[in-house]
Structure 1
Amino acid sequence: MSRPSQLLLIGVVYLTGVAAARASGTVDAEAATVGLCLVLLVAASVHYANEYADAEVDALTRRTAFSGGSGALSRSGLSRRVALAAATATGLAGLGAGLAAVALGSIPPIGLLLLGVGTIAGWLYSLPPALALSRRGLGEVSNALLGGLLLPVYGYAVSGGSVPAWIVAAFLPFALVDLANVLATSWPDRQADAAVGKRTLATRRSAVWLRSVNVVALLLAGTLTVAMVGRAYPPSVAAASLAVAPVAAFAAMRFTRVESPLWPVATMVGLIALQLVAWSLIPPGSWNAAA
């Protein structure tokens, strides 16, 4: 139910924020390690909460490698309450450990604040069902903001102890690419979502509207990347980011015309992987942002 591949991706996004902190200053290795453990705990909690809330949808949808939930509950016959219990336990464990880490000086208070915001918002994505962001047409944007912006900024904050404006700006393009990815992964689930009253954007809007938003998000991501070279991005990180542009263009052409979200996912994963490598290759403390 915790979707190991997604937890691995969360680790990569987090470490990209850590790598940016290393490039711009000194990183507290202990804080970075503790921060990773904490975010994996609360991420598992959010995934379990989503499994609980989406049990009906997941039983109806045709799963792919990138959409449709884990399917663990429908395959195993376990009660969805098991998922809720696991969500509660891991969430409390993560936040409790975070409080202890701050008390012991292992992570800065700003790290715990961002962890708490991410946990609460992650739960609100799925629960309670009547008010869940994912059922009110707000799930796609909230997902992109949490996974594409808050997560890497949390990695920076835990490691560096602060949240300068430039680091938020630096990950805005990734959040926009993540939005395009989330739109694509929700597309195959649209019929099952509609059947149980989960009003995602894919159930509310036409394919033309969704394609337009997808293209605008990708173009804006590219434009911001170029505009922020030397301000929020070292040239090497910007160049690495723009390397995925051909894949993004191909993905945009196929969005809503095919069911599989493979290429949008590849764009998002490729972007963050290249950014992680590019930030990691910058000598420690040598990057001074102008933003």
Structure 2
Amino acid sequence: MSVARLRSAAVDRTPRLWCLWAASRPSQVALVLLVYLLGVGLSTAGPPVAAAETATGPSEVTAEPFLGPVVDGALALLPVTVAIHYANEYADVETDALTDRTPFSGGSGALEATGLPPAFLRRATIVAVGLSAAAIVAGLVAGALPLETVGLLVAILIPGLAYSLRPLTLIRRGVGEFVNVALGGLLLPLYSVAAVSRPTEIAALAVVPFALAVGCNLLATHWPDREADAAVGKRTLVVRWSPDRVRRVYAVLAGAATAVTVGLWGVDVLPTTVALATLGPLALLGRGWWVLTRQRSPFPSVLAMVGVAAGSTAAWWWVGVFS
């Protein structure tokens, strides 16, 4: 049976379950877990990136002192991620209905496909937020989540919800992109470092190239939705700015990502393996800039961001554990 038929059968037979699955955005959950592994891999490098060494060899990766906190941190992160995605799907139901969806923009289409009312995802968001709070409190009380880790997770959850939901609705005020970069590009990898060790200022510097790539990705993925966003009053940056300004800002972010990577490599913050694994995917941002505002698909920019995440994750794990 084809994927389309399986999807159709799931929508017809179990619309609520399928809606919950699709609206959680499984591909983006997978990306969140990849970035989580980026931070965990970064922690294995030890000082000065992290306050203390974690796993320094392959045998230690599966040992309880390292694996236990990694799993605990991931389990607490999952409901937070799903809650933020549900909130965004619920808040964007109007704009998603107006736009032509791409694989990387326009939402999941879960409500439209199932015919369920937006209130269904509102209730799902409330439940997911409750599960997130329960996981955070349980982890803190049980000692599975250090206080610093809890603080970072709360700092992801609350602005992540405010990104989409009233009364703040940050994405409608021209600051949502900055919040998204801060949460997904900086706080998320630092949270995963904190799950197993204490992150340092060096750790924050080390993930700046990825955060800048996230900024490029946001401009590219918001571009196809600009007309629908404008129609419902969602004032994203690509709605507020002219196409020329969007391209200029994208170029600045892409250039800064490359310059910062080279600079951090030059001062030995980034090992050579990590720097090269980052610079390779960053080159794709050149293609992303070329097609930005000229085509609807944000694929080159998405590929660049995912490539930076995957490449730097593999490189940090190699440097910290296998080299």
TM-score > 0.5, shorter chain as reference: yes
Q: Aligned match of 2:307 in 258, 263, 270?
A: 270
Report the TM-score when normalising by structure 2: 0.85
SS in 2 for 1:23: coil
Deviations 1:131-185 (A, max 9, x none): 311101111111111111111111101121x121001111111111100000000
- SS at the partner of 1:256? coil
1:26 aligns with 2:64: no
Does the aligned pair in 2 maintain the 1:26–1:285 contact within 8 Å?
no
Alpha-carbon deviations, 1:201-235, whole Å to 9, x = none?
11111000000000000111111111112543112
Tell me the residue number matched to 2:104. 66
* Contact 1:14 1:155 survives alignment (8 Å): yes
SS in 1 for 2:145: coil
Q: Does 1:117 align with 2:155?
A: yes
Matched-pair contact (CA < 8 Å) for 1:23–1:285: no
2:241 — aligned with what?
A: 205
Of 102, 111, 118 in structure 2, the residue corresponding to residue 80 of structure 1 is 118
Corresponding residue for residue 164 of structure 1: 200
1:277 and 1:87 map into 2 onto residues whose CA distance is: 33
CA distance in 1, matches of 2:37, 2:231: 38
Of all paired residues, the percent bearing the same amino acid is 42
Q: Flag the 1:80–1:243 CA change in 2: closer, same or farther, 3 A.
A: same
Say if 1:172 and 1:246 are closer, same or farther in 2 by CA, change over 3 A: closer
Which residue of structure 2 lines up, in the alignment, with residue 224 of structure 1?
A: 260
Partner Cα separation in structure 2 for residue 32 and residue 122 of structure 1: 22
In the alignment, is the contact (CA less than 8 A) between 1:193 and 1:200 conserved in 2? Answer: yes
**In the TM superposition, what is the alpha-carbon distance from 1:272 to its structure 2 partner?**
0.5
What stretches of structure 2 of length at least 5 have no aligned partner? 1-22, 47-52, 56-65
Measured in 1, the distance between the counterparts of 2:177 and 2:159 equals: 13
Equivalent pairs counted in the alignment come to 284
Asked whether 1:95 is paired with 2:133, we answer yes
Distance in 1, matches of 2:268 and 2:91, equals 41
Instruction: Give the Cα separation in 2 of the matches to 1:166 and 1:236.
Output: 17
CA distance in structure 1 between the aligned counterparts of 2:150 and 2:320, rounded to whole angstroms: 28
What is the 5 A alignment of 1:14-53? 14-24=36-46, 25-27=53-55, 28-53=66-91
Q: Select between 233-242 and 277-286 the one with higher mean Cα deviation.
A: 277-286
Q: Return the offset for 1:283.
A: 3.6
Range moving further from structure 2, 223-232 or 182-191: 223-232
Find runs of 4+ consecutive structure 1 residues off by over 4 angstroms: none
| RMSD over aligned Cα atoms | 1.4
Which structure has the larger Rg?
Answer: 2
Q: 2:230 aligns with which of 179, 182, 194?
A: 194
2:192 to 135, 155, 158: 155
Confirm or deny that 1:233 pairs with 2:270.
yes
Distance 1:116 1:21 in 2: 21
Asked if 1 retains the 8 angstrom alpha-carbon contact of 2:283 and 2:304, the reply is: no
CA distance in 2, matches of 1:45, 1:115: 13
Shift of 1:285: 10
List per-residue Cα deviations over 1:41-60 (Å, max 9, x = no partner). 10100000011111111111
